[in-house]
Amino acid sequence: MKTLQRTLSIIKPDAFERGATGDIINTLLENNFRIVGMKMLHITKAQAEGFYAVHVHRPFFESLTDFMSSGPIVVMALEKEAAIADYRKLMGATDPAKAEAGTIRKKWASSIEKNAVHGSDGEDTSRFELSYFFAGYELSK
Ligand code: CMP
């Protein structure tokens, strides 16, 4: 029996601004992710701080939360077998200089901060992140 898993994806302000949204969504579909929820948002600084609360003591927290609240983003709930690990592989390394050819970040990211996309890094994180942006009734069965 197939065990489906869900993960949260964000197209960040830099990628949205560069017009990468359509290409990134196509890449997700070509890689057999099912989009079970999607919305375009322009979050506030406080909402970005809540989402990235785990990084509150990191030196890049201020800059990251300014960036994430600087323009529109697209948040998606993705479903697939092993969705969390598969999506992280498809995104590529956090630092685009280290991202492999064929990954989303290799193609669209411009720096370690402006790195085009976000993906949950584990099961607990994905549960928190999905519930941060989506109510249960907003996700497809
Ligand atoms: P993301 O996968 O969304 O998780 C945390 C984010 O913090 C990361 O992508 C980057 O946008 C940002 N980030 C991580 N490390 C650094 C860093 N060393 N300097 C600046 N931003 C970083």
Domain limits of the chain? 5-132
Report angle CA 8, 73, 7 to the nearest 5 degrees.
5
Q: Determine the distance separating the centroid of ligand 1 and the alpha carbon of 64, expressed in angstroms.
A: 7
The model carries a pTM of 0.97
For the Cβ of 118 lying below 6 angstroms from any atom of ligand 1, the answer is: yes
**Residues facing 75 on adjacent strands:** 10, 39
Predicted confidence (pLDDT) at residue 2 exceeds the cutoff of 90: no
Tell which atom from ligand 1 comes closest to the C-alpha of 114. 11
For the Cβ of 132 lying below 6 angstroms from any atom of ligand 1, the answer is: no
CB of 34 within 8 A of CB of 79? yes
The question of whether 118 is a catalytic residue gets the answer yes
Predicted confidence (pLDDT) at residue 32 exceeds the cutoff of 80: yes
Would you call 82 helix, strand, or coil by DSSP?
A: coil
**5-132: CATH architecture:** 2-Layer Sandwich (3.30)
pLDDT tens-digit readout, 92-136: 999 999 999 999 999 999 999 999 999 999 999 999 999 999 999
